[in-house]
Amino acid sequence: MRKLTWVVTALAAGTLLTLWGQIVGKVEKGIQMHHVAVPDFRGSGVSPNLMNAFNQTLWDDLKTSGQVVLVDKTMYPKTVPQQPSDFRQPPPTPNLQRRRGQEMAVPQNGGGLWMSDWSGPPVNANYLAFGYTAMQNGVLVLYGNLFDVTRSDTNPASQPLSKRYLATTADENGARQIAHEFAADILKIFGGSSLFGTHIYFVHQAAARSPKEIWVMDPDGKNQRQITHFNSTSIEPAVSPDGSKIAFTSYTRGNPGIFVFSVDPVRDLRFYNQVASVNETPSFTPDGKQIVYSSSAGHCCRIYIANLDGTGFRPITSSQFIDTEPKVNPKTGATVLFSTGRSGTEQIYIMTIDGADIQRVSEGTGEASNPCWHPNGQALAFAWTRGFAAGKFNIFVMQDPGSHNYVQLTHDEGKNENPSWAPDGTHLAFMSNRNGREQIWTMLADGTQVTQLTHDGLNYSPAWGK
């Protein structure tokens, strides 16, 4: 009800709020979203395993994108075109006036091989994704098409998409790759962007009390790889704006200190840690040339800024309070969100990059932490215990740091922490223990399409980057 009221307000209020509406307003978007039919593709000489991986990936990418509505597969005709030349226009509908009873019982259509079979009831789709895969000379090939089925036009050149895709490997990874690429092209047609090619860094732990290591995975939870091998406690990953580096905190040298790694290849870039019992929560400035972090040097804990190698460090805040989790505005680079105990329990504040104009962003009740800028540099996501016992965090999105206009995205399902925006600004990754154990989940910024990405061991602190 609150959300609905909000969206109505947003619609009435003008351009600034329209952007907000795009982030969180599903109701507004639903009116315009296209309905796409995506029947399962078949493969020529391609194993059922590969085709399952392909079809599942294509469906999931489009479904979780939030950009289109997928029509339920049970509505589809039994026969599905596999290439543009399969379309057959059915004979003209006979005059129903003359032989009404008989003709009504057997309506004329293409049995799935004509546009109106997909655009009419019960499918009611605007678009049809179809095609097939084949193994050609040991290479997995996809012929993928997206046709506007409201137009009776079988010429591929005048339809939105008809393209050949080559897998780099003839295995399940290759099948997923061409599905990701095809889905990305489809989403581009609708003005959306694909998450394919982005990465989610996270903290993985095999079991409670095991070492914590930094891992990375694709945005669908596949292709999980271990980055650190410190056999220690390595936490709090952050990604550089260009996606080439990560920063994190590790106990591998005793006290918690900051590390900066390149990710391809994985290499320690040797961040110099100033002498302190705690250096933690590193993140990058938008130019990727500096690191902001929290340090207990002198007395816990001040926000510092330093060069990428740790040199030239200087404090931004005073050390009267615990100041931590600094996040520089990704668009302007001029302001910093951070969490602090300066007004009692942990709250989110904002200041300039020089430490001036410190103002509270969160309401001041409960505990608010884990601030994360939206890529647009206006909205933010954060974790807040509002309405719940201390420690029971939920994910919230706030329109901008100066407003108290926020939407609650998770509701009374365990602890939900560490929201991280996807580069597309429409998805969030977060940690939740709603199924009993800490795992990484994703959702759209309106709280729908909630998807669990990790299942093995314990997983925390997602950081979503390029």
Partner 1 sequence: MLSKRKISCVALALMLAMFAAGCKKKAPPPPPPPAPRPEAPPPPAAAAPTVASFSAEPSTIQRGQSSTLRWEVSGDVASVSINQGVGAVQNTGNRRVSPSDSTTYTLTATGAGGTTTANATVTVTAPPPPPPPTPTGPSKSLEERITSDLQDAYFDYDKNDIRADAQASLTQDAAALKSILADFPNASIVLEGHCDERGSAEYNLGLGDRRASSAKDFLVQLGVPADRLKTISYGKERPACTESNESCWQKNRRVHFATGQ
- In the complex, the smallest distance separating the C-beta of residue 276 from partner 1, rounded to whole angstroms, is 9
248: closest CA among 280, 273, 219, 272?
A: 280
Query: Given the rule CB under 8 A, which of 26-34, 178-186, 204-212, 439-447 is the region that contacts partner 1?
Result: 204-212
Query: Given the rule CB under 8 A, which of 74-82, 149-157, 231-239, 264-272 is the region that contacts partner 1?
Result: 231-239
Residue 432 lies near partner 1 (rule: CB under 8 A): no
Residue with tokens 């002498």: 275
Residue 213 lies near partner 1 (rule: CB under 8 A): no
Q: Give, in order, the Cα–Cα distances in Å from 160 to each of 145, 146, 185, 398.
A: 8, 6, 10, 36
Q: Which position among 370, 426, 432, 459 is part of the footprint of partner 1 (CB under 8 A)? A: 370
443: closest CA among 435, 452, 434?
A: 452
Of 55 and 283, CB closest to partner 1: 283
Of 233 and 451, CB closest to partner 1: 233
- In the complex, the smallest distance separating the C-beta of residue 296 from partner 1, rounded to whole angstroms, is 5
Concatenated DSSP letters for 237-271? Answer: EEE-TTSSEEEEEE-TTSS-EEEEEEETTEEE--P
Of 30 and 391, CB closest to partner 1: 391
Q: Which position among 101, 254, 265, 436 is part of the footprint of partner 1 (CB under 8 A)? A: 254
State how far the Cα of 133 lies from the Cα of 82, in Å rounded to an integer.
Answer: 9
- In the complex, the smallest distance separating the C-beta of residue 299 from partner 1, rounded to whole angstroms, is 7
Q: Give, in order, the Cα–Cα distances in Å from 265 to each of 82, 186, 195, 286, 335.
A: 41, 31, 22, 22, 32
Q: Which position among 229, 270, 299, 404 is part of the footprint of partner 1 (CB under 8 A)? A: 299
Residue 438 lies near partner 1 (rule: CB under 8 A): no
Residue 377 lies near partner 1 (rule: CB under 8 A): no
Continuous segment of H or E residues that includes residue 52: helix 48-65
Cβ neighbours around 358 below 10 Å, total? 16
- In the complex, the smallest distance separating the C-beta of residue 142 from partner 1, rounded to whole angstroms, is 43
Of 296 and 439, CB closest to partner 1: 296
State how far the Cα of 41 lies from the Cα of 60, in Å rounded to an integer.
Answer: 14
Q: Which position among 145, 294, 378, 420 is part of the footprint of partner 1 (CB under 8 A)? A: 294
Count the residues of the shown chain that bind partner 1, applying the rule CB under 8 A: 38
List the alpha helices (DSSP H) in 110-220: 115-119, 172-189
- In the complex, the smallest distance separating the C-beta of residue 280 from partner 1, rounded to whole angstroms, is 5
State how far the Cα of 169 lies from the Cα of 216, in Å rounded to an integer.
Answer: 21
Of 51 and 300, CB closest to partner 1: 300
Largest CA distance in the chain: 95
- Nearest 5°: CA angle at 321, between 318 and 323? 80
State how far the Cα of 200 lies from the Cα of 19, in Å rounded to an integer.
Answer: 25
Q: Which position among 44, 136, 277, 435 is part of the footprint of partner 1 (CB under 8 A)? A: 277
Residue 195 lies near partner 1 (rule: CB under 8 A): no
Of 117 and 323, CB closest to partner 1: 323
Encode 133-145: b = buried (16+ Cβ within 10 Å), e = exposed: bebeeeebbbbbb
- In the complex, the smallest distance separating the C-beta of residue 442 from partner 1, rounded to whole angstroms, is 20
Of 12 and 390, CB closest to partner 1: 390
State how far the Cα of 304 lies from the Cα of 288, in Å rounded to an integer.
Answer: 16
Of 277 and 332, CB closest to partner 1: 277
Residues numbered 72 to 111 that lie near partner 1 (CB under 8 A) are: none
Of 130 and 313, CB closest to partner 1: 313
CA atoms within 13 A on the CB side of 305: 19
Q: Who's near 130: CB < 8 A, 6+ residues apart?
A: 39, 41, 80, 81, 82, 145, 147
- In the complex, the smallest distance separating the C-beta of residue 367 from partner 1, rounded to whole angstroms, is 6
Residues numbered 320 to 339 that lie near partner 1 (CB under 8 A) are: 322-325, 339
Residue 214 lies near partner 1 (rule: CB under 8 A): no
Residue 369 lies near partner 1 (rule: CB under 8 A): yes
State how far the Cα of 172 lies from the Cα of 183, in Å rounded to an integer.
Answer: 16
- In the complex, the smallest distance separating the C-beta of residue 278 from partner 1, rounded to whole angstroms, is 5
For residue 185, give the 3-state DSSP assignment: helix
460: closest CA among 433, 435, 439, 437?
A: 439
Q: What is the binding site for partner 1 (CB under 8 A)?
A: 208-209, 212, 233, 235-236, 249, 254-256, 277-278, 280-281, 294, 296, 299-301, 322-325, 339, 341, 344-346, 367, 369-370, 383, 390-391, 393, 417, 460-461
